[in-house]
Chain A
Amino acid sequence: MTTVDSRPADQEPGAPVPAWRSVGDRLRRSETGRIFGALVILCVVFSILSPHAFPTSANLVNIASDAAVLLVLAVGATYVILTAGIDLSVSGVLVFAGVISAKVMAALGGQSVGVLLLGLLAGLVAGLVWGVINGVLVAKARIPALIVTLGTLGASQGVALLITNGVDVRDVPFNLVLSVGSGKVAGVPWLVVIALAVAVAGGIILAQTRFGRYTYAAGSNAEALRRTGVASSRHLIKVYAVAGLLAGLAGYLSLARFATTTLGGHSTDNLSTIAAVVIGGTSLFGGRGTMIGTVIGVFIPTVLQNGFVVLGVQAFWQQVAVGVVLIAAVYLDQMRRAARERP
């Protein structure tokens, strides 16, 4: 029996790579590498076009802060999309959680750390509730995720508007804005530190734990997961719950950053999030993707937006560009998938 070794010759055969993680991982890494390359090229182009405004440390901090809230959402969306699901509700849930959090802090009054933490807790719980609703409807009632989360997008936004009568809550504790919203540690904004911590934790859980493995398996072959005796619908509920929880955190961070609930300012966050995750190499069909890809993916729409602003191009072009890149990314994913189906 001949075993055909299709490994390209340039891959060091004697390298101390553990036998169980070689070519597939390397391919994936190089995929991530390509996205990273695109991001670098984008930055270089903007730097050349605008050498005094784009590549400055102030502007980089700006970009990172812009990306932070989106990154928190994208970590949750990575899990959801890996299960072959989708969560459109995050923009509504973010606003809802921000409103609840602001209302709780306003009701408690004062600027103490305790109040800020209770506000955080309120936001997290508010997000979690919507996430669990999404998860139960998707996993137990078996309604397509697209419809469920489109429904909860409208519902959560509507409830937020009902609570506030459509007027932004502005009495956000000033200490929150000063600390989380615009404070820095060693020159890095707290927002960025928090978002990166979420991404690192999310990435480790995804790659190293059983929770992560079931997430890949659920998107890869949910029936196979169920037949091995795993309660796969319970796992799906947990995944949507995590996405909701992170949308709650994002709502709190947004509150800290803008000092207001920004009721109308997040309507395209869900699309930006999904675009970032998909651009980062996660397959909309589920089962394939990495957290590092998502982190890089988040920066592509953010850098585009920032670059257009810096260049004085109408920022609306960013939406056009992200739309085009998203469609291209999904098309590439489909091609890869089709190529894989006939090895």
Chain B
Amino acid sequence: MSEPLLEARGIERSFGQVHALRGADFTVHKGEIVALIGDNGAGKSTLVKILSGADRPDAGQILVDGRPVQVDSPHAARDLGIETVYQDLALAADLDPAANLFLGREIFRPGLLGRLGFLDKRAMGRDTAKEMERLGVRLKDAAAPVAALSGGQRQSVAVARAAMWAQRVIFMDEPTAALGVVQTEQVLELIRRVRDEGIAVVLISHNMPQVLEVADRVEVLRLGARVARFTAADATVEDLVAAMTSGTAEERAA
């Protein structure tokens, strides 16, 4: 296979006595959906935080396109084309979807007004509409505050924001945990579309059947290290559960 898009090697992270990551590895290839699974406390959240710049490793290496990089802030992650959809979505509920998509990355009006901080709401609205169209998200009311949207639509807005800015990878933490059946299906469809646009998606999920349904590959963490890698099409729920509960750290490939 080609050079991994994003790779973590031997990531270590301790919180006091707790050794959350013990030389964890993780690999993401271009244009794939890779599920990161593991039991509670396996180190998934810590690993994702480190790869999205919200936390720093004690040791280990992160490579983007084969080059070692520093991901020491969310900003640095974004500059590398890595976006994260948090479980709590991190949307400003009183603002409309366009304002949320461009929060922190506003478009200003041309000329003097722009330099004074005046926003080009029209341009942001247009780009948002385009992005929603591209991802097949249909909002009931594009101008309503996010608070007025349903849970699934809020999730779609959060995913659309990540998809709009991500150049390489989107991390999604339990994107369907709070959703009903129909909404879950819509969000999974959205994730596939993002993948088809060429962006890699890392899906953190506890839902094994869903993981097998949507992911191309599965990587399993246990006790702070990677214990197994599967091609989703060849794996069963039993394989995943066995790896999660009793897998042993795989030999570090050279």
Contacts and interface: CB of A to CB of B under 8 A. Distances in A.
Pairing of A with B = yes
Given A229-B75, A229-B78, A287 B93 contact: yes
B99 A22 contact: no
B92 A208 contact: no
Interface in B118-165: 118-119, 121-122, 125, 128-129, 138, 140-145, 147-150
B98 A20 contact: yes
A213 interface: yes
B106 A213 contact: yes
Nearest to B102: A213
- Size class of the contact patch on chain B: 35 or more
A238 to B, nearest CB: 12
Interface string A11-36: 00000001111111100000000000
B148 to A, nearest CB: 6
A340 interface: yes
Nearest to B77: A229
A209 interface: yes
B95 A220 contact: yes
A174 interface: no
Interface stretch (A2-10, A145-153, A180-188, A191-199): A2-10
A287 B94 contact: yes
B96 interface: yes
Contacts, number: 111
Interface of A: 1, 3-7, 18-25, 205, 208-211, 213, 216-217, 219-221, 223-225, 227-230, 286-288, 340-341, 343
Given A208-B119, A210-B106, A216-B94, 18 more contacts: A1-B186, A18-B122, A19-B143, A24-B141, A24-B143, A209-B117, A210-B108, A213-B103, A217-B92, A217-B103, A220-B92, A220-B93, A221-B93, A225-B92, A227-B86, A229-B75, A229-B78, A287-B95
Interface of B: 73-75, 78, 86, 88-96, 98-99, 103-106, 108, 116-119, 121-122, 125, 128-129, 138, 140-145, 147-150, 186
